[in-house]
Structure 1
Amino acid sequence: MVRQARRMIAVLAGTLAAALSLGSAGAVAAAPKAPPAGVDITGEGLRQPLRLRTETRPDHVVAVIDQVNFLGRTGLSTKPKPADLGPKYTIVVLAGETPKQTYDLYPKAVGGPRIYRPAKQPDSRRISAGWFLGRLNMSETLRTAGVPLERQFDTVSGGVGGGERVLQDDAVNPARDIDEALGELQRLLLLNVAVMLTITFGLAGIALLIRRRTR
């Protein structure tokens, strides 16, 4: 009986060590992601793709990606009329030199900037296609990055998704990444506490049983 109890203690101790290691690994995995490597922009007035890279123009890369990083799963219920869209600019988000995401931006659309997200993405994943309202500072953001658009003085603040400056000082999507990381860390800590309490009570019960058996 004593040997069996000791064996159970060893198993419970091993389970505790494994749970703690999984918690540590999960916390590392939940760390905020690094900004993408760059953005390519093509469209009206650009004879060749406008290539923005974080190594040389990090503020512009962040500002352009900020135009699309708030999109939800579903878009508008109605499609804009083609005649109301104006010039189109396609942005491709890169990881290294590998295209990952693509969006069509319409900064001069009637009624405010528009965004179209294709269902087929460069990384072969498929998502819901849809139209979205864009930020009011889309035109100025693209112009500052190098797209040939007329300057606008009345769109310094953002539109849909909250007011933003044309150029961002923070990393891409920092608030959402940090919130997700903290939420994941909290869940992992609660799981670890639950496992430790279970093992502690189990060890206490086994110790009490051994003590009674050996009297």
Structure 2
Amino acid sequence: MIRRVRRLLAAVAGTVLATATLALAGPTAAHAAAVGAERPAAGVDITGDHLDQPLRLRADLHATEVSAVLDQVSWLGRTGQQHGPQAADLGPKYTVVVLAGDVPTKTYDLYPLAKGGPRIYRPAKQPDRSKTLAGWFFGRLNMSETLRTAGVPLQRQFDTLSGGIGGGERVIPDDALDPGQDLDAAMSELQRLLLLNAGVMVVITAGLAGIALLVRRRTR
């Protein structure tokens, strides 16, 4: 009798723990599976100001340039700012389309000369029909030079930071930052995490209550 109760307790506890683990790790695992399923980028197409024809860069012929362009957009997070600079402050626009084979998968609008620092706009509508949130992001400081090296007709930029890491002047002015929007996005993510944790605790509590009730009935 005692052995049967112990086995039953172990089975129920294992089920509860497995459910909790899946609830916490499920989104991450799903995301990892999706990332793993993505095909490596075969190249990029670049269109924009003063480009009569698209720049068609392929990884087998322009590996360095393709890698550098992808580095400009591969780090973007899930949520960006909802509003970008005024149109007059954006400067020239260059659209980068990422290809897997000959199939477009992602698209981004790059503004290397935007006032306050390079900007990136990620449209919600993507070529691969993936669910993506539209948003604005600050770009890397070397965006202009990266695009110029790839063949975009931009003047060479010498306004890099001086003095090494931590040195130099502030490139992005204080009035270009919008901490309110970033705080709203962070609070939204925190709320989702708290709700998920609360759901897991409810499942665990219910499982433990069921175990206690079952043990009480078996031991009478």
Q: Does residue 93 of the first structure (1) align with residue 98 of the second (2)?
A: yes
**1:104-130 Cα deviation digits (max 9, x unpaired):** 333245665454555654345797877
Q: Cα distance, 1:142 vs. partner?
A: 1.3
Residue equivalent to 2:29 = 28
CA contact 1:85–1:108 (8 Å) conserved in 2: yes
**Structure with more relative contact order (C-alpha pairs < 8 Å, separation 6 or more):** 1
SS where residue 31 of structure 1 aligns?
helix
The TM-score with structure 2 as length reference comes to: 0.52
- Specify which structure has the higher proportion of helix: 2
Q: Does residue 122 of the first structure (1) align with residue 127 of the second (2)?
A: yes
Letter matched to residue 39 of structure 1: V
Residue equivalent to 1:50 = 56
Q: Does residue 145 of the first structure (1) align with residue 150 of the second (2)?
A: yes
Distance in 1, Cα, partners of 2:120 & 2:17: 49
Q: Cα distance, 1:139 vs. partner?
A: 0.5
CA contact 1:74–1:128 (8 Å) conserved in 2: no
Aligned residue pairs, count:
181
Residue equivalent to 1:74 = 82
Identical-pair percentage: 44
Q: Cα distance, 1:206 vs. partner?
A: 1.7
SS where residue 32 of structure 2 aligns?
coil
Q: Cα distance, 1:201 vs. partner?
A: 3.9
Q: Cα distance, 1:42 vs. partner?
A: 2.2
SS where residue 157 of structure 2 aligns?
coil
CA change 1:105–1:159 in 2 (3 A) is: farther
Structure 2 unmatched runs, 5+: 163-169, 173-188
Q: Cα distance, 1:72 vs. partner?
A: 1.5
Structure 1 unmatched runs, 5+: 161-179
Q: Which moved more, 1:137-146 or 1:111-120?
A: 111-120
Distance in 1, Cα, partners of 2:126 & 2:86: 22
